[in-house]
Structure 1
């Protein structure tokens, strides 16, 4: 996982923050210096048993999420051993909390409180001002939550899940549901907001990105990225999924990044098993879109994001690529090999695509079992 904290006109990078196992690194490219933050040990209460203490000590502290608050005053991360650590702007820990379950997604509220979605589908609110760190249950889904965001106005929390649903709830009164955005035919992977148009984007395992009037639950437009994939890639993935008893009709979208410029909304999509980045342009006035181009990455294992300060697109694969959208197309600004201090930690920011198959629902043939039992009964008679 990687975050770009700061850029400037005279440097491709200034500060890059990335995680590797149980450590966070802050790289200053100008000085080629590297700061390191070790995930602290979990706070162990005197009330828990020796077995629980030992389990906490032995559990992996690998980082699964990290991010900044909107005002950059706080930085938080969560780990496999159910820790959530909050740091101030000097990267000094101010909270070290043991969650009841492993988190699937975390986000900051406009007031810098934390919303934590766990793998059972529940969302809890942790207030930084609460010294006891007692969570407040906000809402729940019937399946695992894959992404979550809070609108800039702070009035709505939007969640999506494995069951193709996008849910819009009031914040902090999550029991008040404003709408459902329904239309995806597979799990929803990612949510983004076009702030200038107050429109929600949702990417899915069905290979589409849908635009929503989220307050009314109405679909505005749809981008079918699956049409850009060649038949061979789809057939290869379908064969693999068939062996796991999964039926597919499109390659799933694994990640989605957007950037709002003065005139356009830039959209980048990655699809499972495809070593390409698919780039689109959306007009914020009428929400019409156009396909711009694809970028060959040569490997399905890559990370990418936009720097919202200058609209540059950064792609991390076998090299570090920087692209700029100029005159209707993307132009390469820089292409550098991993050298110096940063090159030693390539595995920390070139992420391997997670096993997307776990999000699919399996075929279950209960008719065959019934026929077998019926046959046995007839033989007995």
Structure 2
């Protein structure tokens, strides 16, 4: 699966084991980082990790699992399936600062607003912090869940760590004292797959889930403000049980100017846009649905609040939309920044084509419901039918034997 993010002048994308960085403002060389060629884990460190319970029977690969860009765009961090955490600086040019090792495979990263730390959430439910100012310093365990973490973010003032897990829970913890929990945001019926504190509303939290809803919270109190059923805004499609159930939110993003929220749902060839109305407490209004040729890989806003959509096709790999006159318009192919991105991605399409048509990343996260009583009654009925067939077969094949047996069982009288 391919992922994109844009901050400052940079458009950054990852796919498989490779990270790409394209400058939107200037014609500069494409930065490419291939994890397959990155620093390998020392054998002694690998042995220490396994002895501490961090080992896995899964074979490590170099696939990038997550990456994040700092608010200013000056730092980027990625983590891969080989349990590397790689830190980059983008100024004056892209270069790798350090390679460190995480305990378990990670799912989500986020930088503090001050850009002095990066927080890493992993599959075991733990969150570690890694220093940016001391790039060789090992990570520090901050908190843990009992379930796999799928998303982590921070409040805009860096006061709270906000984490979401597979068991529908959203936890609000104090960053400097993570053992103190401020609140829980509870109400989703499936795993929580996306978190966002939108620009311009530092007290809001938007969450997306496998239950097909996006909820708005006042996260400091855990109070739910609003819930939006995204299925109502999706384009029509074949209705079957599997589709009805599996409608996970894969991405929620906010435009830098704070006016727009864009939501992407898995396997949906559309992007749902909401307009932020600052005049009311709960102010997300459905605005527009953008239909695209195929279900997109990922979406992002750039620094000018333009919407980028990464597609799974080589000929047209990116769409760029600009908000004009109360409407989202598709930009022409001659737009300079679009041309830079399109040409760069076409040159690297060999990396992307292996991820075309891959199964959903959420496939194994949905709940499996068992109706024990229905299963029991079905098996009981099947057992009764089998016994009935056996009796009927026995009666039909040996009637004389049955008659003789029955006569033998009758007591004989003597005179």
TM-score category, normalised to shorter length? 0.7 to 0.9
Q: How far 1:332 sits from its partner (Å)?
A: 1.9
Match of 1:294 among 275, 289, 298: 289
User: Would the alpha carbon gap of residues 219 and 344 (structure 1) be closer, same or farther in structure 2, given more than 3 Å must change?
Assistant: same
Question: Displacement of 1:66 after TM fit?
Answer: 1.6
Query: Which residue of the partner structure matches residue 169 of structure 1?
Result: 173
Instruction: State the Cα deviation string for residues 236-261 of structure 1 (Å, max 9, x = none).
Output: 3x236xxxxxxx55622222221143
1:268 aligns with 2:274: no
Structure 1's consecutive aligned runs of 4 or more residues displaced over 6 angstroms after TM superposition are: 369-373
Distance 1:140 1:49 in 2: 23
The number of residue pairs the alignment matches comes to 354
* Cα-Cα RMSD: 3.3
Structure 2: 5+ residue runs without aligned partners?
A: 51-55, 388-415
Q: 2:16 is matched with which residue: 9, 21, 36? A: 21
Report the more deviating stretch, 16-25 or 346-355.
Answer: 346-355
Partner of 1:68: 69
Q: 2:360 aligns with which of 354, 360, 369?
A: 354
Per the normalisation by structure 1, the TM-score is: 0.81
Larger deviation: 249-258 or 338-347?
338-347
Instruction: Please point out which of 245, 251, 254 is paired with 1:255.
Output: 251
**Displacement, 1:36?**
2.2
Identify the structure with the greater helix proportion.
Answer: 2
2: CA distance, partners of 1:230 / 1:44: 50
- Structure with larger Rg: 2
> Residue 147 of structure 1 aligns to a residue in which SS?
strand
Spell out, residue by residue over 1:134-173, the C-alpha distance to the aligned partner (whole angstroms, 9 max, x if none).
3322111121111111112111010111111111000021
d(CA) in 2 for partners of 1:4, 1:165: 28
How far apart, in 2, do the equivalents of 1:292 and 1:202 lie?
19
DSSP-derived class of the 1:362 partner: coil
* CA displacement, residues 282-318 of structure 1 (integer Å, 9 cap, x when unaligned): 21331323222211112114322111x2111112224
Q: Is residue 100–residue 136 contact of structure 2 (8 Å, CA) maintained in 1?
A: no
Give the match for residue 245 of structure 1.
none
**Match of residue 12 from structure 1:** none
The structure with the greater share of residues assigned to strand is 1
1:327 to 325, 328, 332: 325
| Equivalent residue number for residue 391 of structure 2 | none
The question of 1:303 aligning with 2:298 is answered: yes
- Measured in 2, the distance between the counterparts of 1:47 and 1:321 equals 44
Q: Distance in 1 between matches of 2:233 and 2:46?
A: 54
Does structure 2 conserve the Cα–Cα contact (< 8 Å) formed by 1:191 and 1:202?
yes
Q: How does 1:214-229 map to 2 (within 5 A)?
A: 214-229=219-234
Per the alignment, in what secondary structure is the counterpart of residue 343 of structure 1? Answer: helix
Question: CA offsets, 1:337-362, max 9 Å, x none?
Answer: 88644312245498756332211011
User: CA–CA distance in 2 between the matches of 1:230 and 1:47?
Assistant: 50
Query: How far has the Cα of 1:33 moved from its partner?
Result: 3.5
2:131 alignment counterpart: 127
Matched ranges for 1:1-381 at <5 A: 1-7=3-9, 15-28=10-23, 31=27, 33-39=29-35, 40-46=38-44, 59-89=60-90, 90-109=93-112, 110-129=114-133, 133-198=137-202, 199-229=204-234, 232-233=237-238, 235-236=239-240, 238-239=241-242, 249=245, 251-261=247-257, 265-286=259-280, 287-307=282-302, 309-317=303-311, 318=313, 319=316, 320-335=318-333, 340-346=343-349, 348=352, 354-364=360-370, 368=375
Query: Over residues 27-74 of structure 1, what are the superposed CA-to-partner deviations in whole Å (9 max), with x where a residue is unaligned?
Result: 346537423223312230546559x8xx99x73212121222233332
Distance 1:176 1:370, change over 3 A: farther
Q: 1:372, CA displacement in angstroms?
A: 7.2
SS at match of 1:360: coil
Q: Distance in 2 between matches of 1:195 and 1:132?
A: 32
Displacement, 1:223?
1.9
Distance 2:218 2:187 in 1: 13
- Alignment TM-score, normalising by the size of structure 2: 0.75
